[in-house]
């Protein structure tokens, strides 16, 4: 095979790889841009173990969670405690833990008023 033919073959093989990488980059970029996108991670039994979504100015985190998932809560004097998300209950040793922008929350989800820039996560841990 001539040197020119080898160069053309190499370019033809690189093109699908470039398209694949470009498509993955667009998908990652769109994840950060789409405020309505909800990410759900499931275990091998298809049970929700993590859910994340973006905040919305003026709405509390618990209200937003209820817009994105089936949620059961139990009311206490300090506020509502999330008992289950999408039918998966947190019961010792694992409970649903609430994170704001990657840090464990120091307030309840019902008390936290979100901003559009917030990323809210719930993890069964």
Separation of alpha carbons 95 and 118, rounded Å = 22
* Residue 60, strand partner residues: 113
pLDDT per 10-residue tile (average), the chain, 125 residues: 64 53 43 61 82 96 96 92 92 91 95 96 94
Separation of alpha carbons 71 and 86, rounded Å = 6
3-state secondary structure of 80: strand
* C-alpha pair distances (Å), 34 with each of 54, 55, 58, 112, 117: 9, 12, 18, 22, 12
CB within 8 Å of 42: residues ≥ 6 apart: 48, 49
pLDDT digits (tens, 9 = 90+) for 24-58: 444 444 444 444 588 888 887 778 789 999 999 99
Closest CA to 120 of 42, 31, 60, 58: 60
What is the third-level CATH fold of 39-124? Ferric Hydroxamate Uptake Protein; Chain A, domain 1 (2.170.130)
Separation of alpha carbons 71 and 22, rounded Å = 37
């Amino acid at each position: 095979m001539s040197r020119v033919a080898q160069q053309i073959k190499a370019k033809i093989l690189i093109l699908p790889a470039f398209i694949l990488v470009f498509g993955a980059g667009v998908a990652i970029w769109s994840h950060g841009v789409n405020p309505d996108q909800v990410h759900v991670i499931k275990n091998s039994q298809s049970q929700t173990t993590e859910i994340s979504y973006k905040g919305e100015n003026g709405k509390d985190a618990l209200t937003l969670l209820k817009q994105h998932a089936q949620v059961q809560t139990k009311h206490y004097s300090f506020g509502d405690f999330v008992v289950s998300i999408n039918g998966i209950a947190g019961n010792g040793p694992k409970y649903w833990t609430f994170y704001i922008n990657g840090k464990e929350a120091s307030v309840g989800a019902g008390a936290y008023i979100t901003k559009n820039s917030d990323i809210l996560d719930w993890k069964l841990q």
